[in-house]
Amino acid sequence: MTHSTITLNNGVELPSLGLGVLLSEGDEASTAVTTALRAGYRLVDTAAAYGNERLVGRGIREAEVDRAEVFVTTKLWMTDYGFDSALRGFDTSATKLGVDYVDLYLLHWPWPADFSRTIAAYRAAERLLEEGRVRAIGVANFLPEHLRALARETDVVPAVNQVELHPNFQQADQVAVHQELGIATQAWSPIGGVYGWAGGNGSVPPLQNETIGSIASSHGKTPAQVILRWHLDQGRSVVPKSVKPERIASNIDVFDFELTSDEARAIAALDTGQRGAVDPAIVTPEVIDLTIDPA
């Protein structure tokens, strides 16, 4: 077996393990996608903000896997929040990807200081869902209060909330709210890649953690494989990023071993409660300053 799926709240099947492409650029980005699909991945996670939707689209086409078998996620950037601008943002993403429909469309961050614009963007996502241009809609980085505020003003419960989640930052309370609301949790930076691009926060990155290293040795697996297995055991979807063919292959080779309950407890004990990236409560387009190429 090279994959399993999670059934979303609208019945759509989300592959539990996919390829992330944040900071994947140029030919390396499209080759990574092709390599991953040929290795058995069926989910690719990109975003307008990653600037690589065209490369991802090329990688998907070059893999020559039936489009219906590939689950494509992309995300709307905050500068396109608002109803009409969100619809335009979606069209731009679909055009760059070269797809007729997107499997999962996410609002990339809440914009708490202008939440009405966030709501309008989500309303646009609901429209896209109605029109069949997306198969599921959701959010990323929404705190519980954002999920509850969204629920008060919109009709469709997000299928997914994609959040920072790795052994150092396990977010048990956030995950409990997802369970209560029927939202699937998808972990970003699942193996702790955030420490590479956001700078350290003083804690030891999960891939360098001794406890994880010793669990990995005892199974003849890598630390990344142990961490990914741990996520899957908890029913989460994960999108580890790599552009290296051997890592792409090994990151999905996690369906042939099991962690013991003692090992799972040892990983649970690594939680520091500290995020590696910015707190969603204070995010605005100025805090994460990015320009989306309009064409």
Ligand X SMILES: NC(=O)c1ccc[n+]([C@@H]2O[C@H](COP(=O)([O-])OP(=O)(O)OC[C@H]3O[C@@H](n4cnc5c(N)ncnc54)[C@H](OP(=O)(O)O)[C@@H]3O)[C@@H](O)[C@H]2O)c1
In the complex, the residues that contact ligand X under the rule CB under 6 A are 20-22, 45, 108, 140-141, 162, 188-194, 196, 207, 222, 224, 239-244, 247, 250-251
| Least gap, CB of 61 to ligand X (angstroms) | 19
| Least gap, CB of 189 to ligand X (angstroms) | 4
Nearer to ligand X, 108 or 236 (CB): 108
Catalytic residue chosen out of the listed positions 50, 81, 122, 195: 50
Question: In angstroms, what CA-CA distances link 148 with 41, 135, 172, 177?
Answer: 33, 23, 17, 10
Nearer to ligand X, 94 or 254 (CB): 254
Give 206: exposed, middle or buried? Use CB within 10 Å, 0-12, 13-18, 19+. Answer: buried
Nearer to ligand X, 66 or 246 (CB): 246
Nearer to ligand X, 9 or 250 (CB): 250
User: Is 50 labeled as catalytic in the residue annotation?
Assistant: yes
Nearer to ligand X, 82 or 206 (CB): 206
> Is 198 in a helix, a strand, or coil?
coil
| Least gap, CB of 95 to ligand X (angstroms) | 20
| Least gap, CB of 41 to ligand X (angstroms) | 12
Nearest Cα neighbor of 10 from 145, 105, 144 is 105
| Least gap, CB of 75 to ligand X (angstroms) | 6
Burial track 254-268 (b if 16+ CB lie within 10 A, e otherwise): bbeeebeeebbebbe
Cβ neighbours, 10 Å, residue 101: 15
Question: In angstroms, what CA-CA distances link 210 with 172, 194, 207, 232?
Answer: 23, 19, 9, 21
- Residue 184 pairs with which residues in a beta bridge? 160
What residue number has its CB nearest to ligand X? 193
Nearest Cα neighbor of 193 from 229, 240, 236 is 240
Query: d(Cα 179, Cα 182) in Å, to the nearest integer?
Result: 5
**Residues carrying an active site annotation:** 50
